[in-house]
Amino acid sequence: MIKTVKRGEVYLANMDTDVQGVLIVQNNRGNLFSPTTIVLEIKDTKIDYFSLRTIDKSRLIKRVGQLSTYQMQQVSENMTAVILGVREPALV
């Protein structure tokens, strides 16, 4: 089982019906101590901002990438916009 994950990493994960990409969005302190992590699903090479969910780290299969600091800043801004209903997310 993968125990150490960091915000901004991309993993393949066992989701409800298949294996797909997920982006870790939980902060690193939470990732250090929790058996779960918060992710956004990646569908058709795009982040699905409406798929925010908590999963057990045991569902993570393999790390396949890492977003840059700039990209994660965009992700944070898009998540805030979606949660507040201010606008549709920009593509990252």
- State the total domains in the chain: 1
Residue 6 pLDDT: 97
Instruction: Find the mean pLDDT for residues 14-34.
Output: 95
91 assigned to some structural domain: no
Q: Is 13 helix (H, G, I), strand (E, B) or coil?
A: strand
- Of 92 and 44, more confident: 44
Query: Has residue 65 got a pLDDT over 90?
Result: yes
In a domain, 55, yes or no: yes
Q: Which residues of 28-65 are buried (b: 16+ CB within 10 A; e: fewer)?
A: eeebeeeeebbbbbbeeeebebeeeeebebebbeeeee
Q: Tell me: pLDDT of 92 over 70.
A: no
| pTM, to two decimals | 0.90
User: For the domain that residue 40 is a member of, what is the CATH number?
Assistant: 2.30.30.110
90 confidence band (pLDDT: 50, 70, 90): low
Residue 4 forms part of a structural domain: no
CA 68 to chain centre: 13
Q: What pLDDT band is residue 41 in, cutting at 50, 70 and 90?
A: very high
